[in-house]
Amino acid sequence: MNKLQLIVPTRHVDNRGFFAEIYTRKKYIEIGIHDEFVQDNHSLSKHAGTLRGLHFQAPPFAQAKLVRCGKGAIFDVVVDIRKGSPNYGNWKGYHLTEKNGHQIYIPIGFAHGFVTLEDNSEIVYKCSNYYNQKKELSIVWNDPDINIKWPLNTQPIIGKKDKHAPLLRELNSPFIYKENS
């Protein structure tokens, strides 16, 4: 049963730094994550306040993601877009940093975005399906119905695609909520 979850890998720390296993399929299956990841992505945002999202891919190219911050710090956001879900349109946010090493597992049926909290922040994530530009969709980052509390003091740096994304109410979501999902 794949559910949205925060994962805190064990870090072995000493005077040299740390070591952490960030993905071991067997261990992830034990905590209920059964996806086979087929693609890894790595994104650098040069400036704090860079906002990317809210993105997702429609079936048959829908993607589950395993997200972490490799350098710097981000505020990572997921929005439930599964029709019929008791949490439809609700969001959750997580601070992912290189220091805390936390990861977020995002199952299919959630839109995803983040804002960088430090310059030169890097996000690294695994995807359970291949990228398909024709199936990539988005929801505008500042949708008033979702009302995400982004930790921003100024206007974010946003790409053209994200600036002009539609509202959630304009979306005919391709995802259906299933009990125990």
Distance CA 110, CA 80 (A): 5
Catalytic member of 28, 42, 55, 94: 55
CA nearest to 148, candidates 121, 128, 167: 167
Catalytic member of 88, 94, 125, 164: 125
Write the CB contacts of 178 (distance below 8 Å, at least 6 apart in sequence).
none
Residue 47 gets which letter from DSSP? S
For residue 47, indicate whether it is catalytic.
Answer: no
Write the CB contacts of 33 (distance below 8 Å, at least 6 apart in sequence).
2, 5, 64, 66, 105
CA dihedral for 4, 105, 67, 94, sign (positive or negative): positive
For residue 112, indicate whether it is catalytic.
Answer: no
Active site residues: 55, 125
